[in-house]
């Protein structure tokens, strides 16, 4: 009887924490993808600029 009282709330709490973690992970992945894309764009600009100089 005491065990179910202990495990009941923590089980629900774990699900809630997991949902919050998943939400955070999605946001993190999206932010990283955006920053990676921006970094690639900047690098491509640098490469194009150096090619212009070489011509």
What was the pLDDT predicted at 6? 54
Question: Which of residues 33 and 14 earns the better pLDDT score?
Answer: 33
Place of tokens 């490469």: 47
Look over the chain and give the mean of its residue pLDDT values, rounded to a whole number.
73
Q: pTM of the entire structure? A: 0.33
Question: Which of residues 14 and 50 earns the better pLDDT score?
Answer: 50
DSSP at 55: -
CA count, 13 A, side-chain hemisphere, 14: 6
Provide, rounded to the nearest whole percent, the portion of the chain with pLDDT above 90.
0
């Amino acid at each position: 009887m005491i065990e179910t009282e202990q495990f009941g709330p923590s089980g629900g709490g774990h699900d809630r924490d997991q949902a919050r973690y998943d939400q955070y992970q999605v946001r993190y992945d999206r932010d990283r993808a955006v920053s990676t894309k921006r970094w690639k764009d900047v690098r491509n600009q640098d490469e194009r600029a150096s090619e212009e100089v070489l011509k």
